[in-house]
Amino acid sequence: MLVAVAVVGGGLFLTLGGDDDGGVSDDGKKYVLTAPETIADLSFMVEIPEAFSESDASDLGVEREGEAGGMYRSAGPTEPGVVGGIQYAGMYGTVDAPEEAVDLFFSSGAGTFTEGGTTQLTGSVESVSPEGLDNAVMKCQLLEVVEPVPGYTSTAPLCAWADFDTFAFVLVDRNTGGESDQVEEGLSIDAGADFAAQVREAVLQEVPGGDSGGERQLPGGEGDSGDSGGSSDDGVVELPWGENDSGGSGSYEEELPDIEIPGPSLDQGGASGEVFG
């Protein structure tokens, strides 16, 4: 089983303050985020549309110019300790204070109850410095998923990074092939951080000749882009459960309940296609 994600709506209840950048320096270059067909051994399955609203971006201190994200999955089940799937969503533009954006992401969310299961952040937020994390701040915390189907409990590391051009989160999990009759061994914070750094390296793309913080010319196109080029439908994102569909990207449906990830804010009023609402 791969932990599925439908991001939760609600209003931010913390505010940004100060100008801490977490030791990240502005290298003067511009970067955008992409959603490639593959990341490491994982293949793109479905896009996560419109994860951040304009107000979300503003509250995080991000002058957003575009977004990218998606669900990626291995071709088959993975062994304990081996990454089998991720949920990734991010935005690019200008990030005022990278470390504050990451701190707010974690401190403003505590968990949510959904039909058929519970998700909640557990333990403490950890600052991480995985190999390959170049000029960015990253922190991770474990996400606990309890009984999306009877008897199933698992944990998965949720990591977020920020630099002066990008902010993104990555939920890293195993692919257990649909087995749900026992408590599964989840991935560690270190494993999640290592893979999240690989995700960042794979999705970060420099804009040739660009200057950080200014008007951005996107690679392969003209002008500014407000999204990642895919679907802009609102609502819960349907993500795969059970057997893997290797037929490529697009919609994947199973008659199993959605799980909602605790976003940076939570409002029990319901779910939406946005991280914050």
Q: Mean pLDDT, to the nearest integer, of 151-168?
A: 90
Q: Two tokens at 192?
A: 């999640």
Q: Say yes or no to pLDDT of 259 above 70.
A: no
Amino acid at 1: M
Q: Among 84-88, 122-126, 156-160, 176-180, name the one with the lowest average pLDDT.
A: 176-180
**The whole model's pTM is what?**
0.69
Of the candidates 170, 162, 156, which has an alpha carbon nearest to the alpha carbon of residue 138?
162
CA–CA separation, 84 and 188 (whole Å): 13
pLDDT for the residue 226: 39
Q: Two tokens at 129?
A: 């410095």
The DSSP string of 72-90 is EE-SS---TTS--EEEEEE
pLDDT for the residue 182: 54
For residues 139 and 28, the model is more confident at 139
For residues 111 and 57, the model is more confident at 57
Q: Mean pLDDT, to the nearest integer, of 224-253?
A: 37
Torsion of CA 157, 158, 164, 165, to 10 degrees: 110
Using CA atoms, how far residue 141 sits from 34, 85, 111, 210, in Å, is 24, 17, 12, 33
Q: Say yes or no to pLDDT of 263 above 90.
A: no
pLDDT for the residue 16: 30
Express each pLDDT in 23-37 by its tens digit.
676 777 899 999 999
pLDDT for the residue 179: 56
CA–CA separation, 258 and 238 (whole Å): 7
